[in-house]
Homo-oligomer: A and B are copies of this chain.
Amino acid sequence: MSTISNASAKKAEILTIGNEILTGRVTNTNASYIARRLSLLGISVKRITVVADEESEIIAAVKEAISRQINYLITTGGLGPTYDDISMSAIGKALGLPLKLNDLALQWVLNKTHAENMPLTPEREKMALLPFPCKELDNPVGVAPGAWIEVNNGNTTIIVLPGVPSEMESMIEKHLIPVLVKRQNLFVAEKEFRVIGIYEATLAPFVKKLVKNDEKLYVKTHPGLTENQPSMLIHIEYASESKEESEQKASQALNLLKAEALRLGAQIKG
């Protein structure tokens, strides 16, 4: 596959932190999501590592990844309020950066805490302790902020994200993808439409086939209900170095998806 064999491609690694993956109770869908998003933007994911919520394990894994001269390290997990959420502190130690109370992160935590009528416990305040220096990343879905850290004179970017999939995904989309699109000199064309009257699973085999045939195409379906009928929002992205190619291929995918949805008996909106 091109994103793996391209020697000049930017290199990334994913570090998943969490006991629940190592006991096999949870499958590592976070890594799949991140790998798919990075690959789509031409970044070669070289390694995925899973370690436990243990300081020595996290420190070792971060140091090893950085020693492999990668451009991006994305970590997920271990940012919550409980005693075993130690990722920020362990990553700080691996990088030789002290933890400091981040004013902006504390404000975000306070706002969410107030909104939920909860007291600011030391456990919640802990979530605003970030490695210094870093750029704090707000969490549009949950409470725990993330961190964006540049090391190796800016050659390696470390992005520290929570492990809850919806939080991680929202932060990847908000904070990472726009920067990658810019850094990679890519043009991403986006299309969206809604179908009503068929289930997500009905269209899924066609979507799977479609994206399998093209590395640069990304299709995400968001299931929902419209007027008591199953419906879904279909989001299409195409990333390439050419605006024309991206627009044309995204439109092509849009037309193919609409035609298949109609064939399966759906109505189309927008």
Contacts and interface: CB of A to CB of B under 8 A. Distances in A.
Contacts of A25: 36, 212
Interface residues of A, number: 38
A35 to B, nearest CB: 3
A166 to B, nearest CB: 17
A76 to B, nearest CB: 14
A61 B51 CA distance: 14
B4 A19 contact: yes
Interface string A28-50: 11011111111100001111111
Q: Taking each of A52, A64, A212, which has the highest tally of chain B beta carbons within 10 Å of its own beta carbon?
A: A52
Interface string A2-22: 011000000000000001111
Contact of A28 (B32, B37, B64): B32
A57 interface: yes
A85 to B, nearest CB: 15
B34 A24 contact: yes
A211 B39 CA distance: 35
A27 interface: yes
Contacts of A38: 24
Contacts of A37: 24
A39 B33 CA distance: 25
A121 interface: no
A157 to B, nearest CB: 18
Given A48-B50, A57-B46, A27 B29 contact: yes
A23 interface: yes
What are the nearest 3 A-B pairs in CB distance? Answer: A24-B36, A24-B35, A48-B50
Given A21-B32, A22-B39, 5 more contacts: A1-B20, A22-B35, A23-B39, A23-B215, A24-B32
